[in-house]
Amino acid sequence: MNCSSHKRMKLLTNTRPLIFILCLPLFFSFGFSMLGCKHFNITKEIRQTDTLISWVKRANETMVIDPVAISSRIDSMKIKLKIIKKDSAKIQNEVLKNYIKEYEGIYTQYLNFLELYQNLEFDNSVYSKQLNELKKKLIDREISPSEFGKMYPEIREKINIHLAKTKESVGTIASIEEMYLRLNNDITAVYHKLL
């Protein structure tokens, strides 16, 4: 080996650490870019999800009616109406006959309300679970902002409708309750007379 080839070999051997140091930033930038594929800002999406979660909580807070109490009331009304219908020919008073028709309507409204209310309670628990899972997926970067943006309007609309139905149903039961209280004493008196 001549002197010039020996010098070249020594130069190549000495430059290996230098080449490695110069290439190190390229490796890091490539590695970070690969890791950075899931790096995006989700602050807006988290805030939007939190808003929907608060709507579901508000719906839950609106649902203050005790379905067991309503169910008991329905059972009591059913018994009274059964006895009254069986002996309806004995009732001559037109005002009482109208009260009985109204009471039957209230009974039907209570039945419808109870079914709707139970469905709303179920929907509320499902929405709560789904929104918390969605938030977790956002935090874990399993859903991108663009994916979220595609599904958000539909989710928002469903939760908005759910909240409106909940408020409406509770408002409806309040008016039904007033009618029930107005008629119940008269109907109960007729029921006791027919026993």
Contact status, residue 150 vs residue 42, Cβ threshold 8 Å: no
Q: Is 64 helix (H, G, I), strand (E, B) or coil?
A: coil
Task: Report the domain count for the chain.
Answer: 2
Cα 135 to Cα 155: distance, rounded to the nearest angstrom? 13
Using an 8 Å Cβ cutoff, are 113 and 169 in contact?
yes
105 is in which domain, residue-wise? 41-194
181/146 same-domain check: yes
Are 28 and 101 found together in one domain?
no
Q: Looking at the structure, tell me whether residues 108 and 171 fall in a common domain.
A: yes
Model pLDDT for residues 167-178, shown as the tens digit of each residue: 999 999 989 999
Q: Is 74 in a helix, a strand, or coil?
A: helix
Write the pLDDT tens digit of every residue in 67-121: 999 999 999 999 999 999 998 888 889 999 999 999 999 999 999 999 999 999 9
